[in-house]
């Protein structure tokens, strides 16, 4: 039986990562701007680099607060060598093959386990106002 070369498979998977993302984490530090009295939350950079983004399932109508909302789920794949990502981290799509995703914020729900660890698979959500 042939052995599986995970590093070769990982490199092949990375060749398909044509999107670019910036992943940040809330640091828990909040500062107040004395001029505007606006609270500014400090974010810590976790990862910046290539990714592949794909929708997961169908959009679901829900309510966030009192606002009708459509929740969409996405899977974001990043290189296996990237740092650990945690629930509630924020993923900003900087560059995407899908123009509708550019500059979109995705919120990390969790990590998708896989049999072969060739890339980090992250389950994310995006909530948008339901206009109809």
Q: Hey, how many other C-beta atoms are within 10 angstroms of the C-beta on 100? A: 8
Is 100 within a domain? yes
Is 55 within a domain? yes
| Calpha distance 10→80 (Å, rounded) | 7
State yes or no: pLDDT of 121 exceeds 80.
Answer: yes
pLDDT value of position 2: 47
What mean pLDDT comes out for the span 78-100? 93
Is 29 within a domain? yes
List the CATH number of the domain containing 108: 2.40.10.270
pLDDT value of position 3: 55
Is 93 within a domain? yes
State yes or no: pLDDT of 9 exceeds 50.
Answer: yes
pLDDT value of position 6: 79
Domain count across the chain: 1
Structure tokens at 33: 């701007």
Q: pTM for the full model?
A: 0.83
pLDDT value of position 14: 82
Give the SS3 label for residue 53.
strand
φ/ψ bin of 9: left (φ > 0), alpha (ψ from -120 to 50), beta (otherwise) = alpha
- Those residues whose C-beta lies under 8 Å from the C-beta of residue 98, and which sit 6 or more positions away, are 53
- Average confidence score pLDDT of the chain: 89
Is 1 within a domain? no
DSSP assigned state of 101: G
Reported as a single tens digit per residue, the pLDDT across 27-71 is 888 888 889 889 888 899 999 999 999 999 999 999 988 899 999
State yes or no: pLDDT of 15 exceeds 70.
Answer: yes
Range with lowest mean pLDDT among 30-39, 85-94, 120-129: 30-39
- The answer to whether 87 and 64 are in contact (CB under 8 A) is no
Domain that holds residue 106: 6-129
Helices marked H in the chain: 6-15
Is 65 within a domain? yes
| Calpha distance 97→36 (Å, rounded) | 38
């Amino acid at each position: 039986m042939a052995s599986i070369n995970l590093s070769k498979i990982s490199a092949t998977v990375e060749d398909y990562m044509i999107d670019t993302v910036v992943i940040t984490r809330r640091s828990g530090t909040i500062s107040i701007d004395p001029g505007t009295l606006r609270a500014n939350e400090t974010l810590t950079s976790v990862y910046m680099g290539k990714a592949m983004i794909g929708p997961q399932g169908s959009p679901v109508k829900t309510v966030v607060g009192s606002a009708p909302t459509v929740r969409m789920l996405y899977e974001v794949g990043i290189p296996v060598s990237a740092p650990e990502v945690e629930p509630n981290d924020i993923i900003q799509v900087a560059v995407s093959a899908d123009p509708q995703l550019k500059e979109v914020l995705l919120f990390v729900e969790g990590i998708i386990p896989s049999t072969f660890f060739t890339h980090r698979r992250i389950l994310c959500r995006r909530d948008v106002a339901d206009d109809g």
